[in-house]
Amino acid sequence: MIGGTKTAHSIVEPTPLAKRVSGVIIIIYALITMVPLAWIFATGFKTPSDSISYPPKILFDPSLEGYVNLFTTRTRQTPEYMATLPPPTTWYDELVRSRKMVIAGPSKFGERFTNSVIIGFGSTFLSVFLGTLAAYGFSRFKVPLKDDLLFFILSTRMMPPIAVAIPIFLMYRNLGLSDTHLGMILLYTAVNISLAVWLLKGFMDEIPREYEEAAMIDGYTRLQAFRKVVLPQAMTGIASTAIFCLIFAWNEYAFALLLTSGTAQTAPPFIPTIIGEGGLDWPAVAAGATIFLIPVLVFTILLRKHLLRGITFGAVRK
Amino acid sequence: MAITSSIDRLADRAAGATPPQMRHTVRGLSDRGIAWLFIAPTIVLLLAINIFPLLWTLYLSFTNFKANRIGREIKWIGTRNYERILADADIWETLQVTAHFLFWTIALQVLIGFTLAWLINRQFKGHSFWTTVIVLPMMLSPAVVGNFWTFLYQPQIGLFNYAVSFFTGIDPSSFQMIGSVNLAPWSIVIVDTWMWTPFVMLICLAGLRSIPDYIYEAAEVDRATPWRQFWTITVPMVMPFLMLAVLFRGIENFKMFDLVVELTSGGPGSVTELASINLKREAFEKWRTGYSSAFAIILFVTVFGAANIYVKALNRVKQR
């Protein structure tokens, strides 16, 4: 018993000290990489003057001014005019008036965020739908030039977005698709489909063919077997692929910057333009960034088991 | 009760297994028909939104077209755009900036990423939690995060300058990361490394975990020193994974746009003007559509060619 069962492993098992030292280094690194994110979060709750104080304030009185500024547009007024107004009815009215301003209306952030949601979910649904079909086709059937087609699908990802942005810009202008939700959904679907096909093909390859064959012997047609046997088995894979597509569409910037300006603009090109008096209103920018980044943080934590697979297009599966 | 319901269920299943009419029409689809039906939409979409625009870019690269002047006649000017690009000093400078960025981001990310993976692989308590924490920056929007880094880099009030001065005693307002010609190229390297080191780390970790214990046990029996084990077992076995990580980072950073545009927008001057940023300026600010199309084609052919050669090398390493 003494050492007997452990020998085989204890040779390669690191010593407790080595483990502890590596743990400490990793935790220090993790904490340092978290600083910029923590700073975004903290800045969102600062007042503009706290946000640009020197030395940088770690402890401060939290304020919702950044969030109020993010969602509203405000105008500066004279004290005489302010005196004629009825007393403020809400806490945000009061906050804005304490800065000698009144709320003029909602800002564009809500719209831009909604655009991100519509375009993100729309393109995710479409790329996962098309990707599932194509992946099943590639996974189960003899397709002529299969490897070439798969490589072709992957190679579309190597293009710099700006390289195809010029003709897409011209094409969309002719078709009336520029600055529309539909145009952006189609474009993001085309960008994400390579990821969807490659990931889903990997997941489908892992489902034994015998399941469908058994179902088909029982009288299912090919399509029924696909729907009732393969799809339920592939559900985890489909869900994680969907989250990856959603994150990529959510984060996309280059096309959004070049092809949208108003109605269909998503949040990434918009957030940096949230301008306050005298340059950028950092608490408002940070508030916008916080709201925009939190869904991705949640999804990343949900995805952590499939993360490696997603970021390598299924090349590394752990 | 229980018996009737189970009989019902059996009947349901039998009905489901032998569907009526439907069967004939669906059976009419051969496997090959289904295969094409399933694959075609994807291919059509890619042809319409990727290949057609690419061919259009190729065509425009031989013309003097300017996208802001619609009515004007498009003239075919042969390879003149390409000749001009190869003789253009700005383009060579842009490529140098890109090369500097590529080299240093990949070198730092490989070094730090591998070290982190190696430490995590010792499986200390809580290692999977901290791995998830480290991975977070990589999934975030590069544009939004890059924009916020300009705030961290502010001289005087920025947290980055403050931290540097806190640890080194240098006056925080004495240097500008983004504003200075010397430091700006490093400011983008730092942010990219912060963001993407976890990517290399995750892939290296998969590589380290793929090494079976018995190889180390055998080396131990042969009394190989840990140093020797590291260089003759760990490094060669992780190498294919590491090369894959470099391939992905190489392609991504060669076409890098969002993060750097929001950080420095190519400045000051053009010291951080990466190829994609130069392309955007030529195409959408100066509206030299033909010229920038030619540059886009050159970039695409370069990435595509380099990636192909690299994959061949990677396969050779894998076979060893």
Q: Residue B17: which pLDDT band, with cuts at 50, 70 and 90?
A: low
Contacts 24+ apart (CB under 8 A), A219-227: A219/B17, A219/B18, A220/B17, A221/B19, A221/B23, A221/B26, A221/B27, A222/B26, A222/B29, A222/B31, A222/B34, A223/B26, A223/B29, A223/B34, A224/B19, A224/B26, A226/A136
Predicted local distance difference test score (pLDDT) of residue B239:
92
Contact criterion met (CB below 8 Å) for B206 and B273: no
**B289 in A contact zone (CB under 8 Å):** yes
Domain spans of chain B?
A: 19-60, 85-319
Find out whether B262 and A272 touch, Cβ atoms under 8 Å: yes
Name every chain A residue with its beta carbon within 8 A of the beta carbon of B275.
160
On whether any CB of chain A is under 8 Å from the CB of B65, the answer is: no
Chain B residues whose beta carbon lies within 8 Å of the beta carbon of residue A29: 116, 134
| The pLDDT of residue A278 | 61
- Given a cut of 90, whether residue A193 has pLDDT beyond it is yes
The owner of tokens 């001014």 is A65
**Start-to-end C-alpha separation, chain B:** 65
Helices B31-46 and A109-140: crossing angle, nearest 10°? Answer: 140
Q: Do B42 and A130 touch (CB under 8 A)?
A: yes
- Measuring CA to CA, which residue among B215, B247, B244, B245 is closest to residue B230? B215
| Nearest CA among A168, A302, A192, A167 for reference residue A239 | A302
Share of chain A above pLDDT 90, in %: 40
> Band of the pLDDT at B241, cuts 50, 70, 90?
very high
Residue A135 falls inside a structural domain: yes
| Contact: B124, A56; criterion CB under 8 Å | no
Nearest CA distance, A1 vs chain B (angstrom): 20
Distance (Å) from the C-alpha of residue A213 to the closest C-alpha of chain B?
A: 13
The C-alpha atoms of residue B317 and residue B320 are separated, in whole angstroms, by 5
Domain-located, residue A310: no
Most confident among A115-119, B226-230, B307-311 (mean pLDDT): A115-119
pLDDT at B194 over 90: yes
Cβ atoms of B251 and B303 closer than 8 Å: yes
Q: Do A156 and B275 touch (CB under 8 A)?
A: no
Q: Average of pLDDT values for A44-57?
A: 84
Q: Mutating which of B24, B37, B38 best tests the A interface, going by the most A Cβ atoms within 10 A?
A: B38
Residue A222: CATH number of its domain: 1.10.3720.10
Percent of chain B's residues with pLDDT above 70: 91
Contact B258 A254 (CB under 8 A): yes
- The pLDDT of residue A123 is 95
Residue B27 has pLDDT above 60, yes or no: no
Is the pLDDT reported for residue B4 higher than 90? no
Backbone dihedral angles phi then psi of residue A280, each to the nearest 5 degrees:
-80, 140
Which range among A149-163, A228-242, B186-200 shows the weakest confidence by mean pLDDT? A149-163
- CB A289 to CB B53 under 8 A? no
**With 80 as the cut, is the pLDDT of residue A261 above it?**
yes
**What is the per-residue pLDDT across A264-285, written as a single tens digit (0 to 9) for each?**
999 999 998 886 656 668 899 9
As a whole number, the mean pLDDT across chain A is 87
DSSP letter string over B244-269?
Answer: HHHHHHHHHHHT--HHHHHHTTT-ST
- Helix, strand, coil % in chain B, rounded to nearest 5: 75, 0, 25
C-beta atoms of A152 and B46 within 8 A: yes
Residues of B in contact with A218 (CB under 8 A): 17
pLDDT of residue A276: 61
B119 vs A271: CB contact, 8 Å cut-off? no
The pLDDT assigned to B24 comes to 42
What DSSP assignment string belongs to B104-128?
A: HHHHHHHHHHHHHHHHHTT--TTHH
Domain B85-319, CATH among 3.20.20.220, 3.30.70.2190, 3.90.1150.10, 1.10.3720.10: 1.10.3720.10
Bigger pLDDT: A120 or A273?
Answer: A120
Is there a contact between A160 and B159 if contact means CB atoms under 8 Å apart? no
Is B5 a residue whose pLDDT tops 60? Answer: no
- A18 and A157 part of one domain: no
Contact A280 B120 (CB under 8 A): no
The pair of structure tokens assigned to B178 is 């983004």
pLDDT at A154: 83
Residues of B in contact with A300 (CB under 8 A): 132, 135-136, 139
pLDDT score of B6 more than 70: no
Q: Which residues in chain B have their CB less than 8 angstroms from residue A293's CB? A: 140-141, 144-145
Mean pLDDT for the stretch of residues B263-287:
89
A126, A158, A240: best to mutate for the B interface, most B CBs within 10 A: A158
Chain A neighbours among B 118-177 (CB < 8 Å)?
119-120, 122-127, 130-145, 147-149, 151-152, 154, 156-159, 162, 172
pLDDT 10s digits, B147-192: 999 999 988 788 998 898 889 888 888 888 888 899 999 999 999 9
Nearest to B248 among A137, A296, A312 (CB): A312
Q: Average the pLDDT over A232-246 and give the result.
A: 91
Helix (H, G, I), strand (E, B) or coil at B76: strand
pLDDT in tens, A81-99: 888 888 888 888 888 888 8
Q: Among candidates A167, A160, A132, A260, which has minimal Cα distance to B49?
A: A167
Do residues A38 and A171 both lie within one domain? no
What total number of domains does chain A contain?
Answer: 2
Predicted local distance difference test score (pLDDT) of residue B28: 55
CB spacing of B162 vs A170 below 8 angstroms: no
A288 falls within a domain: no
Indicate if A25 and A165 belong to the same structural domain.
no
Give the domain extent around A205.
Answer: 110-269
Over range B181-204, report the average pLDDT: 94
pLDDT for res A178? 87
Q: Is A121 within the bounds of a domain?
A: yes
Do residues A256 and A141 both lie within one domain?
yes
For A219, which of B18, B124, B209 is closest by C-beta distance?
B18
Q: Which of B17, B136, B254 sits opposite A219 (nearest CB)?
A: B17
Q: Which pLDDT belongs to residue A277?
A: 58
A121-130, A179-188, A285-294, B28-37: which has the minimum mean pLDDT? Answer: B28-37
Question: Which residues, listed in sequence order, are joined to residue A275 by a DSSP beta bridge?
Answer: A280
Looking at the complex, report in whole angstroms how far the Cα of residue A20 sits from the nearest Cα belonging to chain B. 6
Q: Do B147 and A272 touch (CB under 8 A)?
A: yes
Whether A172 and A254 map to the same domain: the answer is yes
For residue B49, the 8-state DSSP code is I
Residue B11: band (very low, low, confident or very high) from pLDDT cuts 50, 70, 90: very low
Question: What pTM was computed for the model?
Answer: 0.87
**Smallest CA–CA separation between A200 and chain B, in Å?**
13
Per-residue pLDDT tens digits for B117-158: 999 998 888 888 999 999 999 999 999 999 999 999 988 788
Q: Flag whether A223 is in a domain.
A: yes
CB-based contact, B319 to chain A, within 8 Å: no
**Per-residue pLDDT reduced to its tens digit, B49-78:** 988 998 999 999 998 888 777 777 788 888
Residues A23 and A123 in one domain: no
A9, pLDDT greater than 70: no
Of A163-167, A275-279, A287-291, the range with the lowest mean pLDDT is A275-279
- List the one residue out of A132, A169, A150, A191 whose CA is nearest residue A258: A169
Question: Which of B109, B148, B299 has the most A C-beta neighbours within 10 Å, making it the best mutation to test the interface with A?
Answer: B148
Q: Could you tell me if A293 and A50 are in contact, meaning their C-beta atoms sit under 8 angstroms apart?
A: no
Nearest chain A Cα distance for residue B273, angstroms: 14
Q: HEC profile for chain A?
A: CCCCCCHHHHCCCCCHHHHHHHHHHHHHHHHHHHHHHHHHHHHCCCCHHHHCCCCCCCCCCCCCHHHHHHHEEEEECCHHHHHHCCCCCCHHHHHHHCCCEEEEEECCHHHHHHHHHHHHHHHHHHHHHHHHHHHHHHHHCCCCCHHHHHHHHHHHHHCCHHHHHHHHHHHHHHHCCCCCHHHHHHHHHHHHHHHHHHHHHHHHHCCCHHHHHHHHHCCCCHHHHHHHHHHHHCHHHHHHHHHHHHHHHHHCCHHHHHHCCCCCCCHHHHHHHCECCCCECHHHHHHHHHHHHHHHHHHHHHHCCCHHHHHCCCCCCC
